[in-house]
């Protein structure tokens, strides 16, 4: 029987330079999509997937993320005093049992593989998930819940993938696919940010992983790859052949919130899904589209 996936690692040390000046003083993971910080969507997706422990790999200037996941005692007291029940409910998902949200720091920007390795002691010897909160994935059930379900069947590594235009392969980790069984794609290899002509497919890694703890030993001695960084993709590629490895074809909607247009699209899409906003916001959009 597959061991339960109880922990998620969220690498949030990146500087967010694409969103300057907003990210000069606010971590990009706290930028709101409608009225919830981006990182809250990832945490909700993790909780839905049965994850119990949330491990953040942060860096300098990211302390606001710790505050966000803490109890805001004075705020809550004020809201209670004023009977603001819906506001109290709105902050409930940022509150977790003490000890279930932990933070460690990546002391240098040495790449995603290095960020995940920084969490090795907090994860220990058990399978775990990795989520990149920039990638906002919308589906029911959520992408990670689907992947955990797939993990329970395959008992091996799973990475979420989706099709991208061939001219974009150099932005992503790209899968070398074998046989496909429904949404599961046997994985023969993977390569980080290949040029379109060298890409083995157009199936891109999209920021959701369920990994066996053996990855930490490989990350330990992983040499630098694309962008002169320690790449998670390179360490994962070295696991193929020794441990089961599958791509999981995500069939929901993806918003690339690391990109300005993707972030704006997510705001429009999530606002239009909200009963309290869709009519008024729809009218506003119509006004702009008519011009």
Which position among 65, 132, 210, 218 is part of the footprint of ligand G1P (CB under 6 A)?
A: 132
13 binds ligand G1P (CB under 6 A): no
The residue among 185 and 232 lying less far from ligand G1P, judged by its C-beta, is: 232
Residue with tokens 């994985």: 187
Length of the chain (residues): 291
Which position among 173, 177, 194, 247 is part of the footprint of ligand G1P (CB under 6 A)?
A: 173
Residue pair 22/264 in contact by the 8 Å Cβ criterion: no
Backbone torsion region of residue 178, taken as left when φ is above 0, otherwise alpha when ψ lies between -120 and 50, otherwise beta: beta
205 binds ligand G1P (CB under 6 A): yes
Angle formed at CA 193 by CA 218 and CA 62, multiple of 5 degrees: 70
Partners of 187 in beta bridges? 177
Which position among 30, 112, 131, 185 is part of the footprint of ligand G1P (CB under 6 A)?
A: 112
User: What single DSSP character describes residue 131?
Assistant: E
Segment interacting with ligand G1P (CB under 6 A) among 179-187, 198-206, 261-269, 283-291: 198-206
The residue among 28 and 120 lying less far from ligand G1P, judged by its C-beta, is: 28
Segment interacting with ligand G1P (CB under 6 A) among 2-10, 20-28, 227-235, 268-276: 227-235
Q: In terms of DSSP bridges, do strands 157-163 and 135-138 run parallel, antiparallel, or are they unpaired? A: unpaired
The residue among 227 and 282 lying less far from ligand G1P, judged by its C-beta, is: 227
- In the complex, what is the shortest distance from the CB of residue 77 to ligand G1P, in angstroms, rounded to a whole number? 39
- In the complex, what is the shortest distance from the CB of residue 177 to ligand G1P, in angstroms, rounded to a whole number? 15
- In the complex, what is the shortest distance from the CB of residue 231 to ligand G1P, in angstroms, rounded to a whole number? 6
233 binds ligand G1P (CB under 6 A): yes
- In the complex, what is the shortest distance from the CB of residue 173 to ligand G1P, in angstroms, rounded to a whole number? 3
The residue among 156 and 258 lying less far from ligand G1P, judged by its C-beta, is: 258
- In the complex, what is the shortest distance from the CB of residue 192 to ligand G1P, in angstroms, rounded to a whole number? 6
DSSP 3-state of 266:
helix
Q: For residue 141, say if its preceding peptide bond is cis, omega within 30 degrees of 0.
A: yes
Partners of 58 in beta bridges? 105
106 binds ligand G1P (CB under 6 A): no
| Residues 6 or more apart whose Cβ sits within 8 Å of residue 31 | 19, 22, 23, 37, 38, 257, 263
Can you point out the beta strands (E) in the chain?
7-11, 32-33, 36-37, 53-58, 101-105, 128-131, 135-138, 157-163, 173-181, 184-192, 203-211, 245-249, 253-256
Q: Which residues bind ligand G1P (CB under 6 A)?
A: 112, 132, 135, 172-173, 192, 204-207, 231-233
């Amino acid at each position: 029987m597959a061991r339960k996936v109880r922990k998620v690692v969220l690498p949030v040390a990146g500087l967010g330079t694409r969103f300057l000046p907003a990210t000069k003083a606010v971590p990009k993971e706290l930028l709101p999509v409608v009225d919830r910080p981006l990182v809250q969507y990832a945490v909700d997706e993790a909780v839905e997937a049965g994850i119990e422990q949330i491990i953040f790999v942060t860096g300098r200037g990211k302390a606001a993320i710790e505050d966000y996941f803490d109890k805001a005692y004075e705020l809550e007291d004020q809201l209670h005093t004023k009977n603001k029940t819906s506001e109290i409910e709105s902050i409930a998902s940022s509150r977790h049992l003490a000890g279930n949200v932990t933070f460690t720091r990546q002391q240098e920007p040495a790449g995603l593989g290095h960020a995940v390795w920084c969490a090795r002691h907090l994860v220990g010897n058990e399978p775990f998930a990795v989520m990149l909160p920039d990638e906002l994935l919308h589906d029911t059930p959520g992408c990670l819940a689907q992947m955990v379900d797939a993990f329970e069947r395959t008992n091996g590594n799973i990475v979420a993938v989706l099709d991208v235009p061939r001219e974009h392969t150099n932005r992503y980790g790209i899968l070398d696919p074998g046989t496909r069984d429904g949404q599961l794609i046997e994985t023969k290899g993977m390569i980080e940010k290949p040029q379109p002509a060298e890409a083995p497919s157009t199936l891109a890694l999209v920021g959701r992983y369920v990994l066996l703890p053996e990855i930490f030993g490989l990350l330990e001695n992983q040499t630098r790859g694309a962008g002169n960084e320690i790449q998670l993709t390179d360490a994962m590629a070295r696991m193929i052949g020794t441990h089961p490895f599958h791509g999981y074809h995500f069939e929901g909607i993806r918003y690339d919130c690391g990109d300005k247009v993707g972030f704006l699209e997510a705001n429009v899409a999530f606002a239009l899904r909200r009963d309290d906003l869709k009519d008024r916001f729809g009218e506003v959009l119509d006004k702009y589209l008519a011009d």
